[in-house]
Chain A
Amino acid sequence: MSGQIPLLIVGRLAIAAVTLLIISFAVFAAAQMLPGDVAEILLGQAATPQAVADLRAAMDLDSPALLRYANWLAGLATGDFGMSYVNRMPVAELISGRLANTLLLAATTTLIAVPVALLLGITTAMNQGSLYDRVITTGIISVISVPEFMIATLAVLIFAVWLKWLPALSLANEIHGLGDLLRVFAMPVITLSFVISAQMIRMTRAAVIETLKMPFIEMAVLKGASRGRIVLRHALPNAIGPIANAVALSLSYLLGGVIIVETIFNYPGVAKLMVDAVSTRDLPLIQSCAMLFCFGFLILTTCADVIAILANPRLRT
């Protein structure tokens, strides 16, 4: 049994390597299908054939795309993410600062959204069918249905433009302490929490309700265990697998899917970096960002599986 988790992790890492390779090729192929290359995009209106040819030569873009892709892949194997085509800076340098910002925002959102979502999910399951349950459930459906740009834009209009309580921008470099952090992050974190917790609440509620119907819960009721003990000690460990998976899926969204929040609050994160890279056809940067998002996703799902195994002894076979 003790060897099972390390074995799982090693297996997952092997699968991750293969997945990343496939993804990188898919991203490469998709980027090739986009009209125009980096030289044409940079020159815009001034893209005469001569100017494009000159710029391509100056940027070393003359070699075949497949060869450049192979070179980049070889570099990646040695830990080198390559150089950005657009500004000749190492991709690793471009990403590192942005990644720190993204992780800070993701961590803050996680710290707030996950406990709240679990609490609401478990309590609604315990009081299934009550007024409380119905209010929360209806609320969640409405939150899922409203797109995040709507929530974010409304929040800016109300709290920044009308009430002037919070800054309209989230400038990462203005964070010097906890107070600044709360002020600057209030609106982005609330917006993101709305988006990701809706799914977590519904999954938690469903999983807990499902487990509460099991015969062993009936047994616990019959032996006289308290409600709290039944849910936390008997039902939750059995429901934790699907909950952990729902949480992992929601959190993976915080890495690459927060482009709208980053744009509206002018927050310098990785998602915007990748969109900029796509619009300038900066292949090494696109590839590296895609790898990063994919890797984050794989880590989160692996964590979810490990948690499920640790929480439920029956899965350790």
Chain B
Amino acid sequence: MTKHEVSNWTLGDEAMVRDALRRGASRRDLLKMFLAGGIGLAAGSAILTRAGAALAAGPVKGGHLKAAGWSSSTSDTLDPAKASLSTDYVRCCSIYNRLTFLADGGKLQMELAEKIESADAKVWIITLKSGVTFHDGKSLTSADVVFSLNRHLDGNTGSKVNSIAKQMTEIKATGPLTVQITLANPNADLPTILALHHFMIVQDGTTDFSKGIGTGAFKLESFEPGVRSMMSRNPNYFKPGGAHLDSFEYFAISDETARVNAVLSGDIHLGASIKPQSMRLIESQTGVDLVKSTAGNYTNMNMRLDMAPGDKAGFIEGVKYLLDRELMRKSVMRGLAEVANDQPISPMNAYHNADLKPRAFDPDRAKSLFQKAGLLGETIPVVASEAATASVEMATVLQQAGSKIGMKFDIQRVPSDGYWSNYWLKAPVHFGNINPRPTPDILFSLLYTSTAPWNESQYKNDRFDTMVVEARGELDFAKRKAIYDELQVMVSDDAGTAIPLYLSNVDLKSSKVQGLEPNPLGGQMGYAMAEYLWLNA
């Protein structure tokens, strides 16, 4: 082995470096980080050159890409309002467009919309791009947008986002390319909400969605529910250059090991949602790499503030100090996670409070806090289940740390069946699992306000509630960020929800596949990868 090589360098590390480079870390920062990790300068430079080259190479036209998600059934649909499985999202993203697109780092880009404006966050004017055509040649007009959005308000559509869409009290066309949306209450997040998958734009009057006529980068060639879909490049796509791939094939492989094996054997180019257990098999392979999207789904430990032991001052803070987050990241998640700071807004979100550092593992401090709460030496039952990702393993890490300072955590492992209705939100100390949401407002209103339906720790604070409403109507980003920063501190310090890690969505791909970026809406570029990927020869 030459000194230029690093023996324990893994694909997970490679993904981390590429991620850091993409986020603007300098060469110097990274080399410093390598030195701290015991990697020499020469070897570090070699790694950086390789990672940089992967980022710099330009797109190549052509090729047929085969990719697989994890869920598909005979109820698969081409109706974006009803999309519910990963395959539905990928298919819809390929053939339809949204008005806006949420990109890496939580940055909002305009897609079918030219601009979205409002003076009071209550009445919004959307101006559409001109010259956009559907696959059948028809031009996109405001009528299509009004029809697409109104569908979510009609109970017969069966829309998955009816509860979010309900705040739009009036949607009307004010010109051939302008639409006016009136909200029930001011909400500065409307442009981000319109970036959700279900708000794809379909053609005015569509009732039969089986043809998949959209404005997207790909045209539907064939679609068999529960089996597969085939798409070919749309030559008249409105974005300059259009998609890179000639054609795109997507289906589901429900078994994770089979998905990994299919990528490793070259049967498919990309397999989504890779679990930490597969990392050992993947690490030793060449010709494949991983892309991590830490979108913000997390597994958290909930201690109800209205029940013992969470009602004793000091207990919750003690637990937050007793969580060995770094150990969990490394051994439980095998590096496929980022350390979190006990609040739900992930670093992928533009409103993430980076000044709020995760609590360090500090058993002594935890011990004195438990002493103060009068709980040292007590046995605390903790409910965990396979239903909440990795919760049993996280509970075990906590249990071991506890045993060293005289705290007994009794892990009660319960079955996945019925976990969400029988234990979650109910047991005094239990684990939950929350999927990523695109805006802080949705997360806080769903999980932390006094009236929140999923208030996991029964956190109640009037000032918090007022500030959530205030931030919702605030159009100025800086002012809004300041409010959200403070709300994150409040949740991190006072709520009974310990959030040790943000779990990553990881996609495994052949090294030939390029252009895949992390996305705040999840893996596979928030399911919208098809138009951005290309295949190197």
Contacts and interface: CB of A to CB of B under 8 A. Distances in A.
B130 interface: no
Contacts of B424: 45
Interface of A: 34-36, 40, 44-45, 47-48, 84, 86-87, 89, 94, 153, 156-157, 160-161, 164, 167-169, 173, 263-266, 268, 276
Contacts of B224: 173
A169 B257 CA distance: 11
Contact of A161 (B73, B261, B268): B261
B299 to A, nearest CB: 12
B253 interface: yes
A97 B83 CA distance: 24
**Of residues B224, B253, B255, B261, which shows the largest number of chain A Cβ atoms within 10 Å of its Cβ?**
B261
Contacts of B258: 156, 168-169, 263-266
Interface residues of B, number: 28
A101 to B, nearest CB: 11
B313 interface: no
Interface centre among B254, B262, B415 (most CB of A within 10 A): B262
Contacts, number: 71
Given A87-B74, A94-B74, A263-B255, A40 B261 contact: no
B228 interface: yes
The 8 closest A-B pairs by CB, nearest first: A87-B75, A160-B265, A168-B265, A168-B261, A161-B264, A35-B418, A45-B420, A168-B262
A46 B267 CA distance: 36
> B-side binding surface: helix, strand, loop or mixed?
loop
Contacts of A161: 261, 264-265, 285
User: Considering residues B254, B267, B433, which has the most beta carbons from chain A within 10 angstroms of its beta carbon?
Assistant: B267
A87 B226 CA distance: 11
Interface string B235-276: 000000000000000000111011001101111100000000
A48 B163 CA distance: 15
A47 B421 contact: yes
A128 B261 CA distance: 42
Contact of B73 (A45, A47, A167, A276): A276
Nearest to A34: B417
Contacts of A87: 73-75
Given A87-B73, A89-B74, A157-B261, A264 B255 contact: yes
A156 B253 CA distance: 15
A156 B415 CA distance: 31
A164 B75 contact: no
A89 B75 CA distance: 9
A167 B267 contact: yes
16 contacts: A34-B417, A35-B418, A45-B420, A47-B421, A48-B453, A86-B75, A89-B74, A156-B265, A161-B265, A168-B258, A169-B253, A263-B258, A264-B255, A266-B262, A268-B226, A268-B227
